[in-house]
Amino acid sequence: MSITPVTASAALINERVESPQTKAQRLSVGVLVTILGAILLFMAFTVNKSGRIALSDALADVQLPTIELPGMPTVLLCSLVVLGAGIGYLTGKINGRARTVLAVAAGLGILVGFLVWAAASSTLPFTLTSQLNLTLEYATPLFFGVLGGVLAERAGVVNIAIEGMFLTAAFTASLTYSVTNSFVAALIAAAIAGLLMAAVLALFTLRYLVDHVIIGVVINLLATGLTGFIFQQLVAKDVSTYGSVTPMLPLRIPVLESIPFLGPILFSLRPLTYMAFIAIPLVWFLLFRTKWGLRVRSVGEHPHAADTVGINVVWTKASAVLLGGLFAGLGGSYFTIGSVGAFQDNNPTAGYGFIALAAVIMGRWHPVLGALVALFFGFCRALAQTTKLMALPIPGDFIEMLPYLATIIAVAGLVGRVRAPAADGAHFVKTH
């Protein structure tokens, strides 16, 4: 034998046997990144001014300098970084940690390149603080929606009823506040409303074995019908009693609020945003560090195995769905008392429940990852809003499409594989 086993295995590592699936994924990521880099390269030649990025908005107490970057060179540099990363992926020579670095570089390149391009294409400076502030505003209900979705789906119940929970809770919160003038009462009422909708989901999927997606669609329709009808019949006839709401104001945290740049972004938020920041790690802890969480995950992956070791499958699933409904209800209250005021009969939740669902899937059914994706979606929506104001050559409607396109790319397995809990959507019938 001329080759020792050690050198044989070393040769194997050098060749990196790649399964067809990972190869296809690597190539599609490479193509995608290369295309984005090429677009950025093209965009680099459409700007000739310098881009101004403001670090504080005009009203802030501490005025920070406005960074001025040369437009063309910066975008060009970013596009070259992105292109390089794309080609790196395509060649397949770069592996392991280097690949992660490459992905991060590509992501940063796209982000910085686009922002500088946006700033350079407009006469107004790009206000980073207000962009980030707006991001958190848009992301807050998504955080709660993600928690609602993650909890239910980890327990194996497909939850496309987040939108319905949002809507019912938004309406209940508005009505309760208008009658009681108490934020606490309104928040509790919203949580209960979300809980009740989740109870419908749990009852029909677990007890009556209705298809999870069907009952989700029906709950959404029920929420639309119920809130729309009661709004028209009760609230619209007596707006001063049932429909007068002053929304929660941003809560400024005394000392921290005056930190330059970070203060206005992180420490003068609406109360519900702080609550979301507490709820996300809480749900992570519950799911991954407690006995209950282990049980929830086990009934979502293999209910029969869980049943065999004595876990009450149906009740565990129900408890996770109900807790999720509670969080979704809190998220729903953000659409009325949390930010804008009284409930209006014009689709106030605007499909946020479905964006939250998308964030659950892209976040691989993990509360923290899901929240990060929600942050990204919030960023996209805020960007669409900001660019509308800046009158950019790229239409805001297209930026608003980004979360949905990103989700399609993710579920189509083009970028990494997203795998749902194994028994997600399956019915459990105790057979013994």
Partner 1 sequence: MSVDAKVKAPRPAWVQSTIITIASLILAFIVGAIVMVASDAEVAGKWAYFFAQPGDALSASWDKIASTFYAMWVGSMGSWVAITNTTAEAAPLIAAGLGVAVAFRAGLFNIGGQGQAMLGALTAAYIGFTLKGLPIFLHLPLAILVGVIAGGIWGGIVGLLKARTGAHEVILTIMMNYIAGSLLAYLMMQTAFQTPGRTDPISPVLEWTATMPRLDGTRLHLGFFLAILAAVGVWWLLERTKFGVHLKAVGLNPNAAATAGASVPNVTLLTMALAGGLAGLGGVITVTAPDLLTGSPPQMTGTIIGTLGFDAITVALLGRSRPLGVVFAGLLFGALKASRRTMVVMAGTPDKLTDLIQALIVLFVAAPAFVAWLLPFLRERKVKKHEVQSAKVAAA
Report the interface residues with partner 1, using CB under 8 A.
160, 203-204, 207-211, 213-215, 217-218, 220-222, 224-226, 228-234, 236-238, 351, 354-355, 357-358, 361, 395, 397-398, 400-401, 404-405, 407-408, 411-414
CB closer to partner 1, 89 vs 231: 231
CB of 314 to partner 1, least distance (A): 15
CA pair distance 425, 318, nearest whole angstrom:
13
CB of 86 to partner 1, least distance (A): 21
- Enumerate the β-bridge partners of residue 251: 269
CA pair distance 374, 405, nearest whole angstrom:
14
CB of 417 to partner 1, least distance (A): 10
CB closer to partner 1, 57 vs 211: 211
Which is it for strands 66-70 and 50-54: parallel, antiparallel or unpaired?
Answer: antiparallel
CB closer to partner 1, 237 vs 252: 237
CB of 294 to partner 1, least distance (A): 26
Residues in contact with 369: Cβ distance below 8 Å, sequence separation at least 6, in sequence order: 363
CB closer to partner 1, 203 vs 253: 203
CB closer to partner 1, 153 vs 307: 153
CB closer to partner 1, 188 vs 394: 394
CB closer to partner 1, 15 vs 397: 397
Residues in contact with 383: Cβ distance below 8 Å, sequence separation at least 6, in sequence order: 118, 131, 399
CB closer to partner 1, 315 vs 398: 398
CB closer to partner 1, 62 vs 234: 234
CB of 346 to partner 1, least distance (A): 10
CB closer to partner 1, 102 vs 362: 362
CB closer to partner 1, 299 vs 356: 356
CB of 128 to partner 1, least distance (A): 25
CB of 428 to partner 1, least distance (A): 15
Write out the chain in H/E/C secondary structure. Answer: CCCCHHHHHHHHHHHCCCCHHHHHHHHHHHHHHHHHHHHHHHHHCCCCCEEEEECCCCCCCCCCCEEEEEHHHHHHHHHHHHHHHHHHHHHCCCCHHHHHHHHHHHHHHHHHHHHHHHHHHCCCCEEHHHHHHHHHHHHHHHHHHHHHHHHHHHCCCCCCCHHHHHHHHHHHHHHHHHHHCCHHHHHHHHHHHHHHHHHHHHHHHHHCCCCHHHHHHHHHHHHHHHHHHHHHHHHCCCHHHHCCCCCCCCEECCCHHHCCCHHHHHCEECHHHHHHHHHHHHHHHHHHHCHHHHHHHHHHHCHHHHHHCCCCHHHHHHHHHHHHHHHHHHHHHHHHHHCCCCCCCCCCCCCHHHHHHHHHHHCCCCHHHHHHHHHHHHHHHHHHHHHHHHCCCCCHHHHHHHHHHHHHHHHCCCCCCCCCCCCCCCCCCCCC
CB of 213 to partner 1, least distance (A): 5
CB of 189 to partner 1, least distance (A): 16
CB of 165 to partner 1, least distance (A): 15
| 29 and 415 Cβ atoms separated by less than 8 Å | yes
CB of 234 to partner 1, least distance (A): 5
